[in-house]
Amino acid sequence: MNALVLYDTNFGNTRKMAEAIAETLGGRAVSVSDVSAGELGKIGLLVVGSPIVGWKPTEKMIAFLAGLGAGQLKSIKAAAFDTRVKLFIHGDAAGKIIRSLEGAGAEIVGPPGLFYVKGKEGPVLDGEIEKARAWAELLKKNAGG
């Protein structure tokens, strides 16, 4: 399966999760700053991730998702994840990403991936990389890969 894990990161934690997910899927991880919307037509599975910043995805990720046209992701399977601090309240970047992906026509193939970091800057908490790999295996199975 041709998988792309698209991410934005502030302190490197979301990049680490994206790389682990991409490796598990046999795909590649690419920063949202380094991808064009035209590349999305060549993939079978799109996974999008962002840290939570101010209750939502990063501004770069929001801008990228806002640039997707209705139906642009038709026939592409997709999922979303976010990195977050383990608090009682924290926002929901993954849910907002999923709504954008669905709006562009993607078929969501798994629940949001929610991965925790220690404090604002991290590092990723123990066991979260393994949790991300297990989540990616579920996506692969659900996407038919």
Check residue 37 and give its pLDDT: 72
Mean pLDDT, rounded, for 20-28: 97
> Rounded mean pLDDT of the chain?
94
The pLDDT tens digits of the residues spanning 101-139 come to 999 999 999 999 999 999 889 999 999 999 999 999 999
Enter the tokens of residue 63. 């801008």
The pLDDT tens digits of the residues spanning 37-50 come to 777 878 999 999 99
How crowded is residue 70: how many other Cβ atoms within 10 Å of its Cβ?
A: 9
Give the position of tokens 């991410």: 7
Residue 8 near residue 14, CB atoms below 8 Å: yes
Check residue 5 and give its pLDDT: 98
Mean pLDDT, rounded, for 12-27: 98
Mean pLDDT, rounded, for 47-66: 95
Domain that holds residue 62: 3-142
Number of structural domains in the chain: 1
Check residue 50 and give its pLDDT: 98
Mean pLDDT, rounded, for 8-15: 97
How crowded is residue 78: how many other Cβ atoms within 10 Å of its Cβ?
A: 27
pTM of the model: 0.95
Check residue 41 and give its pLDDT: 79
CATH number at residue 7: 3.40.50.360
Report whether pLDDT(90) > 70. Answer: no
